[in-house]
Amino acid sequence: MISSAIIPQPLAKLPWRLIFLVGGIGLFGLVNLYSAAGGSIEPWALRQGMAFLVFLCLAVTISYVREGTIKALIVPVYIAIVLMLIAVDMLGFVGKGAQRWLDLGIIRLQPSEFMKPAIALVLARFYELLPAGEIRKFRAIWPAAMLIGIPAVLVILQPDLGTGLMVTFAGISVMFLAGVQLRWFLVPGGLLAAAIPIVYQFLHDYQKKRIDTFLDPESDPLGSGYHITQSKIAIGSGGLFGKGYLQGSQSHLQYLPEGHTDFAFATLTEEWGMLGGTIVILAWMAVLRWSLGVAVKAPTRFAQLSCAGLNAVLFSYFAINLLMVMGLAPVVGIPLPMISYGGSAVMTVMICLGLLMSFERQQRSRSTFS
């Protein structure tokens, strides 16, 4: 036990348990990326490590922002992101191809990433402002639906189905927790299920193919089904304790595609076995549990709904990626943040965690070390 006398107050006040947990996941991810590169910190582990540190600092910085400031900024920020999404779509239209980046010269922004936490916060703000008695009225539904629908459609048009689904999922989660009547979820859900075959017609060929091969991976063993098949082989052949660090044949001989990004979990499980995989899952579950705990303990309605929405964002990363990697969901390009190589996912997760830490900070005055 570290005495609070030695540690300066601002540092001691940080939620260290969470930081250790996240740092542990990140470290495991770096160790895995070192192996995925064939035993080298180049080209992934080093860059990922730097991004991780930078964004962890960003998270800690965000944790000092007050709830009032967040509340004040969220609507303009939301509008700005929607405008950026429109800009990206326009550029994509001009460039005649998938366009997810907004090149600002110095940095390249992927505005859809920012939409993930923003959608949670903006809906929380909307339901905070909505009088309690109105929650059962249509007035509680359509503005929220617009707030979700506009960015979701813009993202899906990019086209980025995975992020679009995540934005929608986070938004609907906030609506659900805000107390919108169940039939608003059940009826559209049923309609959606009925509409799937129609929506399917309008998907891009590669998106259709992903769904086809999810339903029957053997139908295209060398095409898109190849990803899922090879991922399952990597995980399954790892066994209980894995093949040993740097010994994964599936990843090292390049049978596993995207072994450092979307399928990094398969790389990890091949070498560390079910044991390593379970540790990652449990660590992630602990992060999710912590974030939901922050939501439950939140004193204000805005904080409650914001935290729950941010939890939903984190959960959708975790669930979509792992279900996909283990062959339970179609291949959608969602990484497992902090395990998969990729700075933007780390950034989004760190923004979410930073916001959560900020809400958590305001619930207590004591250091987690005391």
Partner 1 sequence: MNAPQRFTTVHQDLTFSRRTLVVGGAQAAVGALLIGRLGWLAIAENEKYNLLAEDNRVQLIIVPPRRGWIVDRYGKPIAINRSDFRVDVIPDQMEDPEREIGLLSQLLQLDPDDLFRIQRELKEARGFKPVQIAENVPYERYASVVVRLPELPGVQPARGFTRFYPAGPAVGHLIGYVGAASAKEYEEEKNPLLITPGFKIGKEGLEETLEKNLRGDPGGQRVEVTARGKLVRELTPKPDKSGKTVQLSIDAGLQEYAARRLGEESGSCVILDCLTGDILTMASMPAYDPNSFSDGIGRTEWKALSEDPRKPLLNKTLNALYPPGSTIKPMVALALQQHGVDPKETVFCGGGYRLGNRFFRCLGRHGTVNMHRAIAKSCNTYFYSMGNRIGYDRIAPMARLLGLGQKFDLPVVSQSYGTVPDSAWKRRKFEDNPKLYARPDWTSSDTLNASIGQGYLIVNPLQLAVMASRIASGRNDQPMLVGVHKNPAPMLNLPAAHLDAVRSGMWEVVNGDGTAGASRINIPGIEMAGKTGTAQVRRIAGGQRGQGGDWRYRDHGLFVFFAPFDKPRYAGAVVIEHGMGGARAAAPVAKDVLTYLFDRERAMKRLGELEAEWGGSLLERTARRAQAIEAAARAAAAAPAAVAQANAP
269 binds partner 1 (CB under 8 A): yes
The answer to whether 300 contacts partner 1 (rule: CB under 8 A) is: no
Question: What is the chain's alpha carbon radius of gyration, rounded to the nearest angstrom?
Answer: 21
Cβ atoms within 10 A of the Cβ of 43, count? Answer: 12
User: Min. distance of Cβ 322 from partner 1 in angstroms?
Assistant: 5
Q: Which of 317, 304, 333, 289 is nearest to 169 (CA)?
A: 317
Q: Count of residues binding partner 1 (CB under 8 A)?
A: 51
Residue among 228, 243, 233 at smallest CA distance from 273: 243
Please report how close the Cβ of residue 173 comes to partner 1 at its closest, in angstroms: 7
Q: What single letter denotes the amino acid at residue 220?
A: D
**Nearest to partner 1 of 100, 260 (CB atom):** 260
Interface characters, 130-149, with partner 1 (x: CB under 8 A)? --xx-xx-------------
Q: From residue 272 to residue 291, what is the string marking binding to partner 1 with x (rule CB under 8 A)?
A: -xx--xx--xx-xx--xx--
329 binds partner 1 (CB under 8 A): no
349 lines the binding site for partner 1 (CB under 8 A): no
Using the rule CB under 8 A, is 217 a contact of partner 1? no
Can residue 179 be called a binding residue for partner 1 (CB under 8 A)? yes
CB of 227 to partner 1, least distance (A): 12
Stretch that binds partner 1, among 79-87, 114-122, 156-164, 301-309 (CB under 8 A): 301-309
Of 87, 102, 249, 343, which lies in the binding site for partner 1, with binding defined by CB under 8 A?
249
- Long-range Cβ contacts of 71-80 (<8 Å, 24+ apart): 71/125, 71/128, 71/302, 74/118, 74/121, 74/122, 74/125, 75/122, 75/125, 77/114, 77/118, 78/118, 78/119, 78/121, 78/122, 78/147
Distance of CA 217 to the CA centre of its chain: 25
Pick from 250, 261, 344, 348 the residue near partner 1 by CB under 8 A: 250
Beta carbons of 337 and 271 less than 8 angstroms apart: no
The dihedral sign for the CA sequence 166, 169, 175, 179? negative
Cis peptide before 159 (omega within 30 of 0): yes
Least Å distance, CB 296 to partner 1, is 6
* Residue 235 interacts with partner 1 (CB under 8 A): yes or no: yes
Tell me if 238 contacts partner 1 by CB under 8 A.
yes
Q: How far is the CB of 134 from partner 1 (least distance, A)?
A: 8
Integer CA distances (angstroms), 160 to 82, 114, 152, 369, in order: 15, 14, 10, 42
Distance CA 280, CA 268 (A): 9
Extended strands (E) in 59-193: 102-103, 108-109
Contacting positions for partner 1 (CB under 8 A)? 132-133, 135-136, 173, 176-179, 230, 232-240, 249-250, 253-255, 269, 273-274, 277-278, 281-282, 284-285, 288-289, 292, 295-296, 301, 304-305, 308, 311-312, 315, 319, 322-323, 326-328
